[in-house]
Amino acid sequence: MECPMCFEFYAQDRVARNLLCGHTYCTPCLEILYNVSKRIECPLCRTKHDQNMKPHNLSKNFVAMDLASKHLDEQQAGPFNNQKII
């Protein structure tokens, strides 16, 4: 899975975070949003979140992180890794 703002895959340095509106973005993108106005406004639904809600305090989206990790593992394994040789 990838962040809908920067289109980078979620990873250890791009942790997926859940906004209270239910949308998910990577921590670096949320930090950029927060640094602009000292609050986070969801880029998709425009919900304005509490000023005290800093990106690193938002819950991690473990499902998105797991899917991104599996995708990365599959890419590194290559296209023929799961095929049986007859």
pLDDT of 83 over the 60 cut: no
In tens, the pLDDT along 21-65 reads 999 999 999 999 999 999 999 999 999 999 889 999 999 999 999
Parse the chain into domains and list their residue ranges: 16-72
Can you give the pLDDT at residue 26? Answer: 98
Neighbours of 78 (CB within 10 A): 8
In tens, the pLDDT along 11-27 reads 999 999 999 999 999 99
Q: Are 28 and 14 in contact (CB under 8 A)?
A: yes
pTM greater than 0.85 = no
- CA dist 54 and 4 (Å) reads 19
Amino acid code (one letter) for 4: P
| DSSP run (H or E) holding 70 | helix 62-77
Among 18, 30, 21, 3, which residue's Cα sits nearest to residue 62?
Answer: 18
Can you give the pLDDT at residue 81? Answer: 58
